[in-house]
Amino acid sequence: MRTSQFPLNTVKETPSDAEIASHQLMIRAGLVRKLAAGLYNWLPLGVRVLQKAQAIVREEMNNAGALEVLMPVVQPSELWQESGRWEQYGPELARLKDRHGREFCLGPTHEEIITELARNEIKSYKQLPLNYYQIQTKFRDEIRPRFGIMRSREFIMKDAYSFHLSDESLQQTYDRMFQAYTNIFTRLGLNFRPVLADTGSIGGNASHEFHVLADSGEDAIAFSTESQYAANVEKAEALAPTEPRADASEVLSKESTPNQRSIEDISTFFNIPTSQCLKTLLVKGDDDSVIALLLRGDHTLNEIKVEKLDGVLTPLTMASDEDIQKVAGCNAGFIGPIGLDIPIIVDRSAAVMANFTCGANENDMHYRNVNWGRDLPESNSIIDIRQVVEGDASPDGKGTLTLARGIEVGHIFQLGTKYSQAMNVSVLDENGKNKVMTMGCYGIGITRVIAAAIEQNHDDKGIIWPTALAPFQVALLPMNMHKSERLKSATEKLYIELTEAGFDVLFDDRKVRPGFMFSDMELIGIPHRVVLGDRGLENGMVEYRARTDSDNQDIPLDNIITFLKAAINQQ
């Protein structure tokens, strides 16, 4: 391709509303342009990258035995009513009516549709297991789209859905998908980790997320220092402390603490560590009740864990000021478990605290040196409800946890029978008996993968594409070609040779200054650069430089094709 035929829509200035590197660079390199909040146009250069990513995903999905289908973006409400998600989903589901007043939505995902397709098309157990996938646009009316392509409202996703007669068969396909995902992200040149995940609103049993590691990631991931254990912090279990509880050595006292509301306030006021303070949170229960959650002061609540508990209202809702006044008789900031007559759930770490400080259920008052058993009854609901922190013991018993940030680019689930049951998807088994199919589902955010790749691979000059994603492999740059016939014909000749040798070449035939060409090619991240100048040609030499190098290499013109083949294969 020639730049005269393939305009590069690069911009020198960094857009003011772009926060993270990938967003800035995708705009600057001319991959995308914003149309409206969370909606983007993809320019020719961006489309080339998208196609590279899609091709790899297709290949690996096909290799893993999945079959490509294509389902509509616009979906009839009836199916969503049937699964119950028309009511559940809320405003994130974009709804619309056709001219007849019939209700539809823009698909945020395709479980309902695939289930409908499967129950019509899969008639015998002999057709199972079956794994359908598609690469399709999704729309989710996100509360707050941000970070450009990373969290847009419309995005492209590869989603696959598998159908099985047994859990063993589901596990087999799940494992196969796990491997396919590993292959895909490896081929894409990403530094990623599969981690144990929560199953979230989609529901189901086993689940892994695939995260690209990047500081700008929106998720926190916990890794074991000693083993392969890795989990989303939402999911990572905080084990019960192994140290025994200290003795109740100090005398209980009640002290005046005017205006000392937060854990930090109290910690400073009494000059004690925050880990010696007890945090009491009140949340709403199922039936208009209020439930108390107790945590060590330096720990934070894990909402996902709490939402799974019986009796707790989902989604998790903090008690109102009126509720707090009613059950505790004080304002938030002075609540404590002593004398509190509501269900109390105690975090494992909070249960081994001794001589701790907590609110006295009286404004401007706290208790000091409180002890379980002595000053309040031992709890019989001690449960893990906190977020793990760096240094916690790894849940598999090997090593401790470290935390890192990740971008979720893939997610695989064992759905079980959640949708097949609700939507009555069954086949006849060997014995002629009706059997509800069990399902798996497997997603990859294609557009997000592009953003994540940039997030992980860039420098101050621009994008550094992994070979597999690069829109072009080789940039062919003649220096002031318009001034030299010899240079022009040599470059044209090399362009043809490279193209015939199978390289994706971007030949910069614009009449622009060298510095301009260099900057453009670095910004758009072409991995390999070949520069031709009159000086070098005198000696039959061209210059080569990888995007990651800081120096040129002189290569004989006659060898350049062999050289490039080796350079590309090496990566």
The residues binding RNA (CB under 7 A) are 10-13, 15-17, 19, 28, 34, 36-38, 92, 109, 140, 142-147, 151-152, 155, 157, 200-202, 209-210, 218-219, 303, 315, 408-411, 443-445, 447-448, 461-462, 479-480, 482-483, 513-516, 518-520, 522-523, 531-536, 543, 545, 552
Nearer to RNA, 433 or 535 (CB): 535
- Looking at residue 444, its amino acid is I
N-to-C CA span, the chain: 23
In the bound complex, what is the minimum distance in angstroms from residue 239's beta carbon to RNA?
24
Q: How far apart are CA 361 and CA 337, in angstroms?
A: 8
The minimum distance between CB 510 and RNA, in angstroms, equals 10
Min CB(3)–RNA separation in Å: 11
Distance CA 303, CA 291 (A): 14
CA-CA distance, 282 to 250, in Å (whole number)? 28
Q: CB of residue 53 vs RNA: minimum separation in angstroms?
A: 12
**Distance between CA atoms of residues 394 and 118, nearest Å:** 41
Least distance CB 199 / RNA (angstroms) = 9
Per DSSP (E only), the strands in 89-218 are: 95-97, 103-106, 130-139, 154-164, 192-196, 207-213
**Would you call 455 exposed, middle or buried from its count of C-beta atoms within 10 A (0-12, 13-18, 19+)?**
buried
Q: How far apart are CA 488 and CA 290, in angstroms?
A: 79
Cβ atoms within 10 Å of 166's Cβ, excluding its own: 15
Start-end of H helices in 279-375: 303-307, 321-328
Neighbours of 409 (CB within 10 A): 25
Of 238 and 479, CB closest to RNA: 479
The residue (of 36 and 251) whose beta carbon lies closer to RNA is 36
Instruction: With beta carbons less than 8 A apart as the criterion, state whether 542 and 536 touch.
Output: yes
Kindly list the strands in the beta sheet with 382-383, ordered across the sheet, starting from the edge strand earlier in the chain. Answer: 278-284, 290-296, 344-347, 382-383
Residue whose tokens read 């080796």: 566
Nearest residue (CB) to RNA, 528 versus 545 = 545
Please state the closest distance from residue 310 (CB atom) to RNA, in A: 19
Amino acid of residue 129: P
User: How far apart are the C-alpha atoms of 366 and 337, rounded to whole Å?
Assistant: 11
- Residue closer to RNA by CB (options 516, 558) is 516
Do 255 and 360 touch, CB atoms closer than 8 A? no
Alpha carbons within 13 A on the beta-carbon side of 256 = 1
* Nearer residue to RNA within complex by CB, 354 or 479: 479
Residue (284 or 448) nearer to RNA, CB:
448
Quote the least distance from Cβ 553 to RNA, whole Å: 11
423-437 in b/e form (b: 16+ CB < 10 A) is: bebbbeeeeeeebeb
How, if at all, do strands 474-478 and 505-507 pair? Answer: parallel
DSSP string, 215-227: TT-SEEEEEESSS
Cβ closest to RNA, residue 140 vs residue 366: 140
Q: How far is the CB of 470 from RNA (least distance, A)?
A: 17
Q: How far is CA 390 from CA 228, 239, 387, 403, in A?
A: 16, 13, 10, 6
Nearer to RNA, 125 or 174 (CB): 174
Question: For residues 50 and 531, which CB has a smaller minimum distance to RNA in the complex?
Answer: 531
Nearer to RNA by Cβ, of 303 and 323: the residue is 303
What is the DSSP-derived secondary structure letter of residue 397?
Answer: S
Which CB, 431 or 550, lies closer to RNA? 550
- Kindly report whether the peptide bond that precedes residue 315 is cis, defined as omega within 30 degrees of 0: yes
Q: How far is the CB of 37 from RNA (least distance, A)?
A: 3
* Closer of 407 and 498 to RNA (Cβ): 407
The CA–CA distances, whole Å, from 301 to 20, 312, 389 equal: 28, 14, 11
Q: How far is the CB of 430 from RNA (least distance, A)?
A: 34
- Minimum distance from residue 181 beta carbon to RNA (Å): 10
**Shortest distance in whole angstroms from residue 494 CB to RNA:** 14
Candidates 341, 334, 342; CA nearest to 361 is: 334
Tell the smallest beta-carbon distance from residue 378 to RNA (Å).
Answer: 32
Q: Which is nearer to RNA, 81 or 314 (CB)?
A: 314
Least distance from RNA to the Cβ atom of residue 9, Å: 10
21-28 helix and 446-456 helix, angle to the nearest 10 degrees:
100
- CB closer to RNA out of 34 and 366: 34
- Least separation in angstroms between residue 462's CB and RNA is 7
